[in-house]
Chain A
Amino acid sequence: MLKLPIYLDNNATTPLDPRVLEAMMPYLTDVFGNAASRNHPFGWAAEEAVDYAREQIAKLINCDAKEIIFTSGATESDNLGIKGVFEMYSQKGNHIITATTEHKAVLDTCKHIEKLGGKVTYLPVNEQGLISLEELEAAMTPQTILVTIMYGNNETGTIQPIREIAKIAHAHGALFMTDATQAVGKIPVDVIADGIDIMAFSGHKIYGPKGVGALYVRRKNPRVKVTAQMDGGGHERGMRSGTLNVPGIVGLGKACEVAMQDMEADTARLSAMRDRLERELLTLEESYVNGSREHRLPHVTNISFKYVEGEGLMMGVKDLAVSSGSACTSASLEPSYVLKALGLSDDLAHSSLRFGLSRFTTDEQIDYAINHVKEAVTKLREMSPLWEMFKEGVDLSKIEWAEH
């Protein structure tokens, strides 16, 4: 029997891989030492575990273990990267470039930078969700200290041209940072080949635990430094104070090791499953994929179903745990700003569903999801006056709607 509801919201968070839990268990129980305790075996065991995790992570992203700063998650990493560069490089300039489709952890941090007197350029994206390299080039100034563009988008899965962006940033003497929370562990991310100077990511998006993340900070060519945003014991080479979350770090390390080992097989299986889900749902009339289908993470699809209202749709797909571009699923009343940045109208943004598959998603679950969504959309359209009008050839944009 299929267990309901089916979890297809893996861009929000992933379940812990049993292999990761197993690696963490000793550090939640017997091996509880503080990694900063230098004078007894409890501390040494914890430090050894942390160092091993650093190696596991470094292998996955092709960096040196010393270049990993542990944090509480990607939000903290984004904050530390951006604010840390802004403070550290204030002599050089005060201009940061980012994009409108970034995660709030980047956008709100940039807003904060503006309050501190910094200048921020928010690059628009095209209907595929991609920034324009020409616009990036044009936005670079001698005061530009940082370009921060996410690797893969959390809502659409769109992958930005990271290497080209890094080249442009470097050509103008700026650092390149990327929020790679959705990409690390899912697709090959190589900080050397990609030209990344600073990179934020977290544990719980890659079958690791919540509450742990990391910031990669390059140590040579160039040597990058960020000003600490948390003052205290001077942990993590002085860039992030606070007692290390040893079990979390062990989990993140193991999650990276497993990701490296399983990536190829996971990608092949998940992209085939995702493509089948997408192909089937696109057989519904007036359904559209949001974002680039060419440059995209393998496990994500975001689809809008026109003439169906988002909250009604969410209620109709109650057997699925998915995310929607509709305001009703979040605290704000505005529909997804990411989808709106792609040029979607409010109604199309409202009526979107995001499917995020995981290592643990099965073909049987996808079969169920396909039928469930098809039934819900069909039923709601039979109930929708807009669908009837569309079918009769009425141009809905010509109607004078009574705003309420």
Chain B
Amino acid sequence: MAYSDKVIDHYSNPRNVGTLDKSKKNVGTGLVGAPECGDVMRLQIEVDEATNTITDAKFKTFGCGSAIASSSLATEWLKGKTVDEALAIDNMEIVEELALPPVKIHCSVLAEDAIKSAISDYRVKNGLPALELTHH
């Protein structure tokens, strides 16, 4: 399969690979996917509680090049956004940015799920109700 230049770039030089301290109250962690399906993404955000802004984002992904690129791109986009702005990120924006082919759209869906799951975790830790996560 031919990958787009942007996918190859993110795969070769992934941004924000790493781990945040999940015990911290202002860190939200999302772990989505399943090993048998060939994709597992863990996406973490660190939030400045005063401004409700995401100050840091890290990921680790087990998956194909498109899955790695989708999560790498997501962490880039998350930094500097407010939590509400982050919630508005739609998987199709990832598809467009990375020029993902139809068979790889599920990678972008997984990245969107990971973002929402991380935000939900952050909300629960801070006494807010969990998000209704619609599993694709």
The number of A-B residue pairs with CB atoms under 8 Å apart is: 84
Given A315-B11, A315-B65, CB of A310 within 8 Å of CB of B40: no
Contact (Cβ within 8 A) B136 A347: no
Nearest-neighbour CB distance to chain A for B63, whole angstroms, equals: 5
Please indicate the chain B residues that have their CB under 8 angstroms from the CB of A265 in the complex.
none
Given A310-B38, A404-B135, CB of A383 within 8 Å of CB of B106: no
Contact (Cβ within 8 A) A401 B65: no
Contact (Cβ within 8 A) B64 A328: yes
- Is B39 an interface residue, CB under 8 A from the partner? yes
- Is A403 an interface residue, CB under 8 A from the partner? yes
- Is A307 an interface residue, CB under 8 A from the partner? yes
Per the bound structure, the CA–CA distance linking A346 and B33 in Å amounts to 15
Q: Which of B36, B37, B61, B136 contacts A384 (CB 8 A)?
A: B61
> Which chain B residue shows the least CB distance to A403?
B34
Contact (Cβ within 8 A) A311 B38: yes
| Chain B 29-68 interface 0/1 with A at a Cβ cutoff of 8 Å (1 = within) | 0011111111111100000000000000000111111011
Contact (Cβ within 8 A) B38 A386: no
* Those of A374-404 within 8 Å (CB) of chain B: 382-388, 396, 401-404
- Is B19 an interface residue, CB under 8 A from the partner? yes
Per the bound structure, the CA–CA distance linking A385 and B136 in Å amounts to 21
Contact (Cβ within 8 A) A404 B32: yes
Please indicate the chain B residues that have their CB under 8 angstroms from the CB of A404 in the complex.
32-34, 37, 39, 106, 109-110, 113, 135-136
* Those of A120-151 within 8 Å (CB) of chain B: none
* Those of B54-95 within 8 Å (CB) of chain A: 60-65, 67-68
* Those of A326-365 within 8 Å (CB) of chain B: 326-328, 345-347, 350
Per the bound structure, the CA–CA distance linking A283 and B47 in Å amounts to 41
- Is B17 an interface residue, CB under 8 A from the partner? yes
Contact (Cβ within 8 A) A385 B64: no
Contact (Cβ within 8 A) A307 B62: yes
Contact (Cβ within 8 A) B37 A388: no
- Is A197 an interface residue, CB under 8 A from the partner? no
Nearest-neighbour CB distance to chain B for A188, whole angstroms, equals: 40
3 interchain residue pairs of minimum CB distance:
A401-B34, A311-B64, A385-B42
A residues with a Cβ closer than 8 A to B are: 307-312, 315, 326-328, 345-347, 350, 382-388, 396, 401-404
20 A-B interface contacts by CB (under 8 A): A309-B39, A311-B63, A312-B63, A312-B64, A315-B65, A328-B38, A350-B38, A382-B17, A383-B14, A385-B42, A385-B60, A386-B62, A388-B60, A401-B35, A401-B37, A404-B34, A404-B37, A404-B106, A404-B110, A404-B136
B residues with a Cβ closer than 8 A to A are: 1, 3, 11, 14, 17, 19, 31-42, 60-65, 67-68, 106, 109-110, 113, 135-136
Can you add 4 more A-B contacts, CB < 8 Å, to A350-B38, A383-B14, A401-B34?
A328-B38, A383-B17, A385-B62, A386-B40
